[in-house]
Structure 1
Amino acid sequence: MSRFLLVLPPLTGHVNPAAGIAAELAARGHQVAWTGTESVLRPLLGPDARVFGTGTRAFRAQGGHGLAALRSLWEGFIVPYARFTAKPLDAVVREFRPDVLLVDQHTPAGALAAHRHGLPWASFAPGAMELGHPYRTLPQVEAWTDGLLRGLWERAGLPAAEYLDPRFSPALVLATTGPALTGAAEPPAHHALVGPVLRTRPADPGFPWERLAPGRRRVLVTMGTLAGDLGADFLARSVRALELCGPDVQPVFAAPRALLPELPSRAVAVDRAPVLELMRRGALDAVLCHGGMNTVGEALAHGLPLVAAPIRHDQPFVAAQVAAAGAGLRVPFARVTPEHLAEALRTALDSTALRERAVRVGRELLSGGGAVAAADRLEALAARPSGAAPGGTRPPGGP
């Protein structure tokens, strides 16, 4: 059996799908450990997970749109998080002695540690930010990002001549998406598009299931963990839009109550909703979201049409792909009016064509194999002879 080390950022949308892959590996008898911010990982993974903490520190809140959001992401989180975790990661690798590392694309320090120790590593892409290359038409932006990554490589003391983009393992890239959401280009052979990882999550005894009124169509409204205060204005417009949809439509809001205005009596509001359970029970008819890959993949896997209001990062790219696939509609997060949003929601609820496309795209995503396919590819990487896997070519114990 092999030892797998998962290197993840302290972001729920990144940890949850990785946890499904970890569970599959553990079920096959492999040893699995995690490293990252334990205060975030532990509540998501449970008391039995083996977690090597890398310490905790505050990072700048992510904000803005477009290029400003990209700068905020890289300069406010990815680069400082990589610097902060570099030494602890090196110590974790020495202690746990993994055979393979699974490294999130936004934790480049994991790839640097793997290269330093001559270990094979796979990149994990739970979003489309890097795979989709949304800024490929702006070479100066690509060059800026490349400069930041080369700076981390140099800071780690690795030879410049051996530089590899730490977002893309030359051995294996695991992405929780599918062709319908990545565009028409054929991915390289070492890119495995496994689709959504529908991990079973603990039951939520606090959710008011009894308030889901029979005979009403339901819309889940969730704007992800990064919306913050930006979400309050959009949520207010969403409340009004769902009122305009009529009394037969029941909204389910997954948002902090402080961000929501006064709600109609038929609305359900919780800080966190058991999203997968709602979908599996057939309790939803459509989803209004930010276009995050996890929410989109889970909704389509259950045949639910989407209305996406992207905020930043890969969300505009994902939302555009959903619309292009005919599985949902895209609306402008900052400018959509309640009336326009109500029209989009009614279309999502009423359009047979939209629902049929959502079902079709969902089947395509599920055909990627999810956690089972991901574990198969990781096992194959672990089974390669030493030195045969690209991305783990330095002799162990190198500088």
Structure 2
Amino acid sequence: MSRFLFVVPPLTGHINPAVGVAAALAGRGHRVAWVCADAGLVRRLAGEGAEVFACAGAVEGGRPPELRGPEALRFLWEWFLLPLAEAMAPGVRAAVEEFRPDVVVADQQAFAGALVAERMGVVWATSATTSAEFTDPLAGLPRVREWLDGRLAGLRAAIGDPAGTADPRFSPHLVLAFSAPELAGAAAGGVRWVGPSIAARPSPSGFPWEWLDAGRATVLVTLGTANTDVGGRFLDVCRVALRERADRVQGVIVDPGGLLGGAGDDKDVLVVPSVPQLALLERVAAVVCHAGHNTVCEALWHGVPLVVAPVRDDQPVVAGQVADAGAGVRVRFGRVTARRLGAALDTVLGEPACRVAAGRIRTAFRAAGGAPAAADHLDALARES
């Protein structure tokens, strides 16, 4: 039996892919534990019995919604990723000392996991819950790259091994990518493409399944868990476009922040704070979303084409992957009109090419192996270490 310590940021989209992998390892008799700044969130997603070591760190908050491009990237690093790593490091060190893992599985944005493991001489693997880093998002931005390299060097000096050389985002031992080249494109050597990690998860009860009309195509609209504060206008545009197609389409809009005021709960557009997303994806014809990596991959796992409207961070890269693969249409989050969004919906619902491309990625994702394949790679790494 080996021991695996998962180090994750307090973000649902980064924990969910690891949950299935952790369950697969535990099912083989291995011992699994977690380090996260939000133990309650881990237990809600991984089960109340999850062994979680506490650490400091807070969820990102207060980011100006108008930030885009390099400034948004700088804000993400300066005000969230780097402070989170520094805050998590003492808790990660304590967890490694107590749990004595054979392998640390560090989320690609939980730098403390990689740097502390390196410093303490523990083999570590990268859990890449987005494929955006594989496409060199800083190409053409030499000043941003120089700034970022300097900040990572400072972080290593503070919490890692000053003599170390590995980029904390890319383990030299193992990088698990929860996608496939058919969507993400080629990547550097050493990446193990395992496809999405799809596992059972807690779902909100009470979804009105009887509301779905089998005679019309159902469209799911969601902006994920991190864009609640900026999506009011976009969700309203989606509602208008859906109602204009009510003769053949009905929509389910996820509105956790109540930005639409609860209006629109009728036979054409259902507005709800949350949905059982995996179960609903089996019933929908298209997804409109922010191009969050998990949402995109879960939709394509089901062969569902997308309309993607990236907001920030890795989302423009993921949206580009969807469009380049032919599995969806990209629109501008901040400027899209009901007419433009409706045209994009008509394309993904009416043109066979989008559904064929989505089906091709679905096949690739399922062939990649998912959580069991990721567990195979981690199991082998533990035996070699």
CA distance in 2, matches of 1:269, 1:56: 33
CA contact (8 A) 1:36 1:53 kept: yes
Q: Deviations over 1:123-155 (max 9, x none)?
A: 111112322221222122122111111111111
Deviation at 1:301, TM superposition (A): 1.1
Q: Deviations over 1:315-370 (max 9, x none)?
A: 11111111111111101111111001011111111111211111011111222111
1:135 aligns with 2:138: yes
CA distance in 1, matches of 2:329, 2:59: 36
Residue in 1 that maps onto 2:188:
187
CA contact (8 A) 1:10 1:40 kept: yes
CA contact (8 A) 2:131 2:184 kept: yes
Higher relative contact order, structure no. (Cα contacts within 8 Å, ≥ 6 residues apart): 1
Residue in 2 that maps onto 1:224:
224
From 119, 123, 137, the equivalent of 2:122 is: 119
CA distance in 1, matches of 2:275, 2:336: 25
1:166 aligns with 2:162: no
Q: Pairwise mapping of residues 1-399 of structure 1 onto structure 2 (< 5 A)?
A: 1-37=1-37, 38-55=39-56, 57=58, 59-62=60-63, 63=65, 64-156=67-159, 158-159=161-162, 161-183=163-185, 185-188=186-189, 190-256=190-256, 258-260=258-260, 262-263=263-264, 265-266=266-267, 267-280=269-282, 283-385=283-385
Segments of structure 2 that go 5 or more residues without pairing to the other structure are none
Letter in 1 for 2:151: L
CA contact (8 A) 2:134 2:188 kept: no
CA distance in 2, matches of 1:358, 1:158: 43
For structure 1, which segment, 361-370 or 55-64, has the greater mean C-alpha deviation from structure 2 after superposition?
55-64
CA distance in 2, matches of 1:164, 1:352: 44
Q: Deviations over 1:24-60 (max 9, x none)?
A: 0011110000011213222222211111111354644
> Identity of aligned pairs, percent?
48
Letter in 2 for 1:352: P
CA distance in 1, matches of 2:280, 2:245: 21
Q: Secondary structure in 2 aligned to 1:258?
A: coil
CA distance in 2, matches of 1:247, 1:19: 40
CA gap of 1:208–1:296, structure 2 versus 1, over 3 A, is same
Q: Secondary structure in 1 aligned to 2:287?
A: strand
Q: Secondary structure in 1 aligned to 2:258?
A: helix
CA contact (8 A) 1:101 1:119 kept: yes
CA contact (8 A) 1:244 1:339 kept: no
CA distance in 2, matches of 1:58, 1:284: 31
For structure 1, which segment, 198-207 or 20-29, has the greater mean C-alpha deviation from structure 2 after superposition?
198-207
CA contact (8 A) 1:234 1:333 kept: yes
Deviation at 1:201, TM superposition (A): 1.8
TM-score (norm 1): 0.92
Letter in 2 for 1:269: V
Q: Secondary structure in 1 aligned to 2:329?
A: strand
Q: Secondary structure in 2 aligned to 1:311?
A: coil
Residue in 2 that maps onto 1:393:
none
CA gap of 1:157–1:342, structure 2 versus 1, over 3 A, is closer
CA distance in 2, matches of 1:126, 1:61: 23
Segments of structure 1 that go 5 or more residues without pairing to the other structure are 386-399
Name the Cα RMSD after superposition. Answer: 1.5
Letter in 2 for 1:322: V
CA distance in 2, matches of 1:85, 1:203: 29
CA contact (8 A) 1:150 1:163 kept: no
Q: Secondary structure in 2 aligned to 1:101?
A: strand
Q: Secondary structure in 2 aligned to 1:363?
A: helix
CA distance in 2, matches of 1:332, 1:263: 23
Q: Deviations over 1:290-329 (max 9, x none)?
A: 1111111111111111000011111111111111111111
Counting matched residue pairs gives 380
CA distance in 1, matches of 2:351, 2:107: 37
Q: Deviations over 1:160-198 (max 9, x none)?
A: x32321111001000111112222x3530x211111111
Deviation at 1:156, TM superposition (A): 1.9
CA gap of 1:186–1:60, structure 2 versus 1, over 3 A, is closer
